[in-house]
Amino acid sequence: MASKSHVSSRAGWRFGATLFFSGLVIAAAAQSTNHPVFAARAGAEFHRAQNEFQSNTNDFAAAWHFARACYDFADFATNDTERATLAIQGIAASRQLLVSRPKSAPGHYYLGMNLGQLARTELLGALKLVGEMEREFKTADDLDEQFDYAGPARCLGLLYRDAPGWPASIGSRHKAREWLERAVKLAPGYPENHLNLIESELKWNDRAGAESELKTLDALWPKAQTNFAGVDWEPSWADWTGRKGAVDQSLTPASPPSEPPKALH
């Protein structure tokens, strides 16, 4: 069963924030907007989910909700120590869940997500986490490909896109395109999936592909604004609107220079 709409700071990226290691993007699905109101909401949800989980550590839903809240709140961390502390809590909750529920798609998914947050704080150790992230997202995809609007496929696509290539790591343009296109196919009404593909095609100098995908996104945009409405989706729309504006600008043909006025004789 696919996840319901998110009560989180970054509903739907879940790779909503960009993950980095050694100065390189390794996985992301949208960049969080560092608005103080969004940060406050993420903090409140973190504490609510933490209390719920601590009250019943055997509740599998409470475990993954807390892991999700750790990931979301880590987006607003002001330093690596704070981000790592939150990520480690999310990793621990996910691993605890998977001991009793090894086939929990949310457990594997949020384990991968929090590993990504931890990777943002690592300099030399981040590459070691990439392989584990890949395994967790693939497992989540096998268990529930629709979870979080095709979140596992979305994350794998971005991981393959932004990780260094062989022999240093798993980066692969072919795999990135395959998984990003899969995310669009699985959840075609979700703007994040289209934006990721458009941005990737621009990165790969595939202007025709980006233009075609942008037309699809333009067509679904009004309906998406209705389907993903409400306070919980405000951070996502702040992010999506900014990113769409950037790709619109990138794909707008430059106006030809005007001819200078002819000299009067």
Spatial CA neighbour of 28 closest among 13, 8, 10, 11:
13
Identify the sign of the CA torsion 102, 103, 106, 110.
positive
Query: Which residues of the chain register pLDDT less than 70?
Result: 1-34, 123-124, 254-265
Specify the DSSP element, H or E, that contains 227.
helix 207-227
User: φ and ψ at 96, to 5 degrees?
Assistant: -60, -40
Residue 128 has a pLDDT of 85
Give the phi and the psi of residue 253 in degrees, each rounded to 5. -60, 135
What is the torsional sign of CA 222, 38, 145, 200? positive
Q: Could you give all domains of the chain from N- to C-terminal order, each with its CATH number?
A: 18-248 (1.25.40.920)
pTM of the model as a whole? 0.85
Q: What is the pLDDT of residue 168?
A: 86
Report pLDDT for 253: 78
Residue 244: per-residue pLDDT: 97
pLDDT at 178: 98
CA 62, 50, 141, 138 dihedral sign is negative
Helix/strand/coil for 15? coil
pLDDT in tens, 238-255: 999 999 999 999 998 765
Pair 130, 163: CB distance under 8 Å:
yes
